[in-house]
Structure 1
Amino acid sequence: MKMKVVFVTSLLVVAILFSVLGAVIFQSHAKPATKVSLASFTTAGCTSSSAKITVTSTGSASGTPDVVNVMASINELGTSAADALSSDNSEAAQIITTVTAAGVSASDIQTTNFSLGPTYSDKGVITGYSASNSIMIKITNLSSAGTVIDQAENSIGNAGTIQSIYFSVSNTSLLQGEAKANAVSQANSEAQAMATAAGEKISGVCSISDSAPTPLYPVTYGSAMQSANSSSQVPLQAGTQSLTDQVTVIYGLTTK
């Protein structure tokens, strides 16, 4: 019985030795691991000593405004601060009620530039108090904008004015993307023309940098609104607005 156990144990030891020896032989015949240099991924013509072309180009994109922003200004006088504030609050509440009834969302109405203080005579004596604020109204339904503006102007009467009206584009991200793409496309064309004229060939793009896009400048209507006839609907034309973007692209060059 003892001899049988010893024999089995010997077989196991021999098997282990063969396994180890086989692994060593396999590794000695295996191919060495391939080393990949990061330098191999460098764009041709973009090394520090390579010739390059730097192009700065501008692209633009236009869109139709879909929002009308109306700034209404209210100013009330009173013999006391409380009186002036009460009158101002009443006028503000009236215009807010009017425009919300006309379909403007409460979230699109914002009170700004509030002030409350004394008024003085030429001799510096307090004669009363003045309360004023501005209300920004965002109208997203352009078809009803003229009616909303008329109703807002009528609701504040002589206590306030429609200070300004301007159009804007609610979502400029699409225009920004289009302007960037146009700027890069223009840069590619200019770089290709320059390289061809120099007898070289574009090998690739080394880098692209983007400047902040030029904001959309709103089309504003101001004092003309104050003299407009409140009995007729205000004529509004949204037109178009443009956004520009500038990119600087560095291209690598190779000889044709």
Structure 2
Amino acid sequence: MKRIITTLILLTVISMGFAQEKPLVTVNGEHTIKVEPDEAEVNFAIVTEHKDLQEAKKNNDALVSKAISFLKKESVPSNDIRTTRVNVNPYKEYVKDKDPIPMFRAQQSINVKITDLDRLTELVSGLVDLGVNNIQNIEFKTSNLEELQNEARAKAVLDAKKKATILAESVGQSIGAVHAIHDNTVSDIGSPRPMMMAYKSEAADSGQAPIATGEIEVTARVNASFLLK
């Protein structure tokens, strides 16, 4: 009886081993879609300095209030304007041949979404005119991100299948059913082309340099395994 049980166990182990040793080809697939952005997120900061802490904060609050009022007046929705950081820090201002002067620096960082890119230059210039002294970043985005990522995913799988076919044919085989697919797509979109200041005739007349939006990249990446036959 023990010999029969032992034989059955060995047969099971052997059959499992064969099942796990099915030949596979594993590849990475990728596809990128380039698209013109239709919205932008502008991150800016307002920094004020004063010997008195309360004055530094008061002056900062006043400038922030003006900036937010300006954006709302220009039809930017309130829910598209968000304070991301508030800081008040002491520091020392060093002047040659004099004792360091104790000072305070107040800073508020704000993120605003602009959905009308034709007005982007105008709005950024308006903020600077009001006293916004630090435009930290302008990130271009697309409102169709999910739809574009799904399209890119499907084409990334086709790219993986094409690569797997080439590899299989190089050893005299072909690919069979898909064994596994892993989606390695990240939610972030590709960085836009470097932001440049491009002059146009109407911009030159107004003294403003329009911001070139360029294109953004939506990329999907997959890892896929195919059975060989």
For the structure 1 residues 70 and 171, does the alpha-carbon distance in structure 2 shift closer, same or farther, using more than 3 Å as the test?
A: same
SS in 1 for 2:181: strand
Q: Which of the pair has more CA radius of gyration?
A: 1
Identical pairs, percent: 26
String of CA shifts for 1:2-58, please: whole Å, max 9, x gaps. xxxxxxxxxxxxxxxxxxxxxxxxxxxxxxxxxxxxxxxxxxxx9423222222222
Of 143, 153, 175 in structure 1, the residue corresponding to residue 148 of structure 2 is 175
Query: Which secondary structure state, in structure 2, belongs to the residue aligned with residue 200 of structure 1?
Result: coil
Given candidates 64, 69, 85, the residue that maps to 2:41 is: 69
Matched, 1:88 2:60: yes
Aligned to 2:138: 165
Q: Distance in 2 between matches of 1:72 and 1:196?
A: 55
1:149 and 2:124 aligned? yes
- Give the match's secondary structure for 1:70: strand
Q: Answer whether contact 2:195 2:212 (CA < 8 A) is retained.
A: no
Change (3 A) 1:49 1:68: closer
Q: Is the 8 A contact 2:39 2:117 kept in 1?
A: yes
Counterpart secondary structure, 1:100: helix
> Which amino acid counterpart does residue 124 of structure 2 have in structure 1?
I
Q: What is the alpha-carbon distance in structure 2 between the residues aligned to residue 200 and residue 164 of structure 1? A: 51
- CA deviation vs aligned residue, 1:167-220 (integer Å, no higher than 9, x gap): 122342122212211111011112223333333232211111222437323336
Q: What is residue 248 of structure 1 aligned with on the other side?
A: 223
Q: What is the aligned-residue RMSD (CA, Å)? A: 2.9
TM-score normalised according to structure 2 size? 0.76
Mapped to 2, the partners of 1:149 and 1:234 lie a distance apart of 11
- In structure 2, the CA distance between the partners of 1:79 and 1:241, relative to structure 1 (3 Å rule), is same
CA distance in 2: counterparts of 1:140 and 1:182, whole angstroms: 29
- Please give the residue correspondences for 1:15-30 in structure 2 after superposition, counting only pairs within 5 Å: none
Report the alpha carbon displacement of residue 121 of structure 1 after superposing the two structures with TM: 4.3
Query: Which residue of structure 2 lines up, in the alignment, with residue 234 of structure 1?
Result: 209
Contact map agreement 1:150 1:234 (CA 8 A) in 2: no
Structure 1 residue 125 displacement after superposition: 5.5
Q: Which amino acid aligns with 1:77?
A: E
For 1:131, the equivalent position in structure 2 comes to: 106
Q: 2 CA distance for matches of 1:175 and 1:162? A: 29
| Aligned partner of residue 103 in structure 1, secondary structure | coil
C-alpha separation between the residues in 1 aligned to 2:79 and 2:187?
28
Change over 3 Å in CA distance of 1:201–1:117 after alignment to 2: closer
Partner of 2:115: 140
Q: Distance between the aligned counterparts of 2:138 and 2:25, measured in 1?
A: 46
Tell me, which stretches of 5 or more residues in structure 1 are unaligned? 1-45
Note if 1:206 corresponds to 2:179: yes
Distance 1:249 1:82, change over 3 A: same
- Give the gaps of 5 or more residues in structure 2: 1-17, 198-202
**Alpha-carbon distance in 2 for matches of 1:152, 1:100:** 12
Contact 1:214 1:243 in 2 (8 A): no
Matched residue count: 204
